[in-house]
Amino acid sequence: MEIPFVVEPRKDTGLNNSKIGIWLFLASEVMLFGGLFSGYIFLRIYADYPWPERTLPVLPGLINTFILIGSSVTVVFAWVSLKLGQWRKFQVYMAITIVCAALFMVLKGIEYNAKFAHQAIRLDDYTVVEGHAHPQGGSHDYHAPKKNFNISAESVQINLSRVDDAYYEVMGKQYADGGMVLANKLTLNDGEVFEKGTAISKELIDRAKVDYLAAAANNSEIDIELGREAWAALKPKFPGKRYYEAVEGSKTLSEVVSAYTKELKKHRKEDYQTTTPNLIFVPNTGSASITVNPYWGKLSNPKEGDKGTLKLKDETLISGVTGDSSIALAIDGIDFRHTVMKAEEKGIDPAAAVANSWLLKDEKINKIWKKHQLITSKLKVLLEEDGREPTENDIYRINWQEIAGLQETDIADLEAMDYHDILALYPGDVEGFAGPDHKKIHYPEVIVPREQVRFESVFSPRWNTYYATYFTITGLHGLHVIAGALVLAYYLFFGRKMFEQRPEWLANRVEVGGLFWHFVDLVWIFLFPILYLM
């Protein structure tokens, strides 16, 4: 059957099938990205933390903009070539378009990779420090944990209804290595006995879990049965009464039923089974060192040497003495804006709040801050000539260029220098293409004790709403780039036959693919200034 309107337009709409299809799709895309942009705008306007403005390295974004604009031109040229019946030219232009798409995604990958390797910590006093986390305990092994919770465990309590296989798989080895054994004798309902001192094992936990769940199910079944019996016995005695209405003095119907159920239970004691909801293990050596990914649980008292409890997300409780859970951070960014915001909220002098911050107790960082204050004072004088003043960003944020550029310069030398001469010392955009390069520049390292950490994350969607929207919108846009490139590549590699038989049809298809590609470019035209420059 011949499909109508694949080439010639329908009379009522004036459009062929694919054209109307793509515009319907693009209209839905406008709404999708429109909604996401709206989300971004309102998250930014109502943000309860200083927004990280102009925080992304501009160069990759700028190059990507050029790439997308260039590919928009080549895709339209590819279509023109088809219209003019020039297959070879079409191939060249389309190939360039697809290479552009690939380049775009490579740059995006470099950017994302830099973000995921970049650590941020919000300190207890709301100072934000950024940098690269080094392995804990001064280890030189690159793959060693960088921010684990460490605890010298004196007991491990496993919650049998919540214990999770994925957690136990990783933790189990540590428990076994630490010599964890049963703290108390365990008798199961089928009579099997595990003596005190039995070594921890998956089999033991699974056995106990099955036994506990079966016993709990059995007991609750009896409870339900007796509850029903009680209601059936008592309801006719108090006709028309609701459960919350008083029936015997001040006692409600439901209270009377409960009391009766309790009586019934006394006669069924032998049917109830013993339930052991938690298993407690202790190390046979006194203590066992346990290390846990910080996203797996919460450490109640993170101060090293204090008694602490580590609660995993599967309700496993590891109690003992908190070990070194600090984060060694090579600092490439310091931001006091949140400290200032919080101080203002509390009516405290922001300058004093910054001066008293934990971070500035470190001599190296204090030196950097003093240099920064000097630079800000020079900037202030310079701006005053134009009737302007430094922004909060200028005053309270130290970026990686400043830390890297002024490492070797003494504060006394800076005093004698002009503001613009100081800026000339900073590394350029190319050196920090996708952010600070820790392989080339050695940044000052600070050990941040865990009790000073309010929140920590790499620059992932977890860090703040800015990065959450950044990754959502650019990620979705990236998927559009990939999808568009696949469609265009299909025309390039499988279009020859159609070009020979129905060239008009292929031209229509390419036009429609091109329309989608232009839309992808159009979205990026807004994304680039909004995410990178504002």
Partner 1 sequence: MADSPEAIKKHIKLYTLIGAVLFVCTLLTVAVAKFEFLDFGQRGFDSVDAIIGLLIATFKATLVALIFMHLNHEKKMVYWLFGMGLFFAFCLMAIFAFAFSDPIEFQAFFGR
Q: Is 14 in the site for partner 1 (CB under 8 A)?
A: yes
Among 163, 346, 360, 530, binds partner 1 (CB under 8 A): 530
Output the six-digit token pair for 498.
Answer: 């159609």
Stretch that binds partner 1, among 62-70, 176-184, 349-357, 470-478 (CB under 8 A): 62-70
Confirm or reject binding of residue 318 to partner 1 (CB under 8 A): no
Query: Is residue 73 at the binding interface for partner 1, with CB under 8 A as the rule?
Result: yes
Only segment of 105-113, 286-294, 349-357, 516-524 that touches partner 1 (CB under 8 A): 516-524
- What are the helix and strand counts (H, E) for the chain? 16, 17
Strand, helix or coil for residue 56: coil
Residues in contact with 228: Cβ distance below 8 Å, sequence separation at least 6, in sequence order: none
Contact indicator for 127, 263 with CB cutoff of 8 Å? no
Contact status, residue 186 vs residue 366, Cβ threshold 8 Å: no
Residue 19 or 450 with smaller CB distance to partner 1 = 19
By CB under 8 A, residue 477 contacts partner 1 = no
If you ran DSSP here, which 8-state letter would residue 151 be given?
E
Question: Are 92 and 118 in contact, with CB atoms under 8 Å apart?
Answer: no
The secondary structure of residue 443, as a DSSP letter, is P
Cβ 31 vs Cβ 64: under 8 Å? no
Cα atoms found within 13 Å of the Cα of residue 348, Cβ hemisphere only: 15
* 391 lies in the site for partner 1, by CB under 8 A: yes
Q: Is 27 a binder of partner 1 (CB under 8 A)?
A: yes
Among 124, 394, 431, 445, binds partner 1 (CB under 8 A): 394
> Judged by CB under 8 A, does residue 42 bind partner 1?
yes
Is residue 529 near partner 1 by the rule CB under 8 A? yes
Identified binder of partner 1 from the candidate list 6, 17, 29, 219, rule CB under 8 A = 29
Backbone angles phi, psi at 349, to 5 degrees: -65, 120
User: Of the listed pieces 22-30, 169-177, 272-280, 490-498, which binds partner 1 according to CB under 8 A?
Assistant: 22-30
Indicate which single residue of 18, 72, 316, 325 sits in contact with partner 1 (rule: CB under 8 A).
72
Check: CB of residue 278 under 8 Å from CB of residue 158.
yes
CB 471 within 8 Å of CB 439: no
DSSP β-bridge partners for residue 299: 310
Shortest distance, CB of residue 501 to partner 1, whole angstroms?
A: 19
DSSP reduced 3-state for 195: coil
Give the total of residues touching partner 1 (CB under 8 A). 60
Cα separation, 531 vs 474, in Å, equals 9
| Nearest CB to partner 1, comparing residues 280 and 525 | 525
In the complex, minimum distance from the CB of residue 523 to partner 1, in angstroms, rounded to a whole number: 9
Rule CB under 8 A: say whether 83 interacts with partner 1.
Answer: yes
Is residue 298 a contact residue for partner 1 (CB under 8 A)?
Answer: no
Told to check if 35 binds partner 1 by CB under 8 A, we report: yes
Segment contacting partner 1 by CB under 8 A, of 79-87, 176-184, 291-299, 488-496: 79-87
Does residue number 476 form part of the binding site for partner 1 (CB under 8 A)?
Answer: no
Backbone angles phi, psi at 319, to 5 degrees: -110, 145
User: CA separation (Å) from 107 to 101, 103, 191, 529?
Assistant: 10, 6, 64, 17
Structure tokens at 88: 């070879």
CA distance 120 to 277: 39
Q: Which of 177, 389, 418, 500 binds partner 1 (CB under 8 A)?
A: 389
Based on the number of CB atoms within 10 Å of its own CB, is 470 exposed (0-12), middle (13-18) or buried (19 or more)? Answer: buried
Of the pair 34, 197, the CB lying nearest partner 1 is at: 34
Candidate segments 80-88, 269-277, 410-418, 440-448, binder of partner 1 by CB under 8 A: 80-88
Question: Encoding tokens for residue 248?
Answer: 């015997």
Among 5, 6, 17, 62, interactor with partner 1 by CB under 8 A: 62
45 near partner 1, rule: CB under 8 A: yes
Applying the rule CB under 8 A, the residues between 327 and 386 that interact with partner 1 are 383
d(CA 293, CA 321): 17
92 counts as binding partner 1 under rule CB under 8 A = no
Shortest distance in whole angstroms from residue 507 CB to partner 1: 9
Binding of residue 528 to partner 1 (CB under 8 A) = yes
* Angle between helices 58-83 and 87-116 in degrees, nearest 10: 160
Which window, 16-24, 326-334, 346-354, 491-499, contacts partner 1 (CB under 8 A)?
Answer: 16-24
- The single residue listed with the structure tokens 């793959």 is 143
Instruction: Yes or no: say if 162 and 350 are a contact pair by the CB < 8 Å rule.
Output: no
Residue ranges in contact with partner 1 by CB under 8 A? 9, 13-15, 19-20, 23-24, 26-31, 33-35, 37-39, 41-42, 45-46, 53-54, 58, 62, 65-66, 69-70, 72-73, 76-77, 80, 83-85, 383, 388-391, 393-394, 514-515, 518-519, 521-522, 525-526, 528-530, 533-534
